Amino acid sequence: MVGLFEMKKAAEVRDTKHVILKNALQLFLKKGYRAVTYQDLMKKTGLSKGAIYHHFASKDELLEGVFGFLLDTTRQPAVESPEDCVTDRETFRELFVRGKLAQIQGFKKITHTRSLKVNRLLFFLEAINENDGLKQSIEELMQEEKMFLVKCFTGLQKHNRLPPGKDPALLAECLFWMLQGSEMRLFVSDDYNLEADCINGYNKTIDDFFAITGCL
């Protein structure tokens, strides 16, 4: 039967591509993009150079593929109307942390890694430097996350959880940068347990933020 045959072949192709992407991502995160060589890729994937080139015509194309792969596996599905779901600190925290957790778990599933060290940032910056398209993706990703926070704080305002006169948009932006900054801490620290440390970090940042701003 033709159908089955072709499906099998297509699956194998996807498999090899997937093997390359997964292993390349792990290497890129561990050593940075430039530092990873085809030698490394060959050893890690068990494939020949030619096979990798058969699927990705250049290292840059591989970078794009890996980046897309990382975003696909990592991006949580957009939450519908956070401005309605979020009614207080706990619902906000739950929503936010749940999303991050899903991201981290997707990430762990493909990298089989517990630690990141500085290298996710390094990989991102190299990507930005090498490839203008990827730079855009990263900026869009940041914008998206900021908008999500604005909606959350709009929800909190609707339920009178903000101190009088506080602008939800301003609060959202401040929290966004604080989260960015404190995420850097993870990368600088030696090593960390992804789930525990990361989630704890997010929780602490949210608690601190609510404490210093007087949100409830």
Partner DNA sequence: AATGAATGAGCGTTCATTCAT
Partner DNA sequence: AATGAATGAACGCTCATTCAT
Q: Closest Cα partner for 215 from 167, 181, 176, 179?
A: 167
Q: 2, 39, 132, 211: which one contacts DNA (CB under 7 A)? A: 39
CA-to-CA distance for 86 and 67, rounded, in angstroms? 31
Q: Does 170 bind a second copy (CB under 8 A)?
A: yes
Nearer to DNA, 35 or 170 (CB): 35
Nearer to DNA, 15 or 139 (CB): 15
Q: 26, 32, 51, 195: which one contacts DNA (CB under 7 A)? A: 51
Q: 36, 116, 126, 198: which one contacts a second copy (CB under 8 A)? A: 126
Q: 6, 13, 72, 214: which one contacts a second copy (CB under 8 A)? A: 214
Q: Does 60 bind DNA (CB under 7 A)?
A: yes
Q: Does 50 bind DNA (CB under 7 A)?
A: yes
- Cβ 137 vs Cβ 69: under 8 Å: no
Instruction: Return residues touching DNA (CB under 7 A).
Output: 5, 8-9, 12-13, 16, 36-40, 47-51, 53-55, 57-60
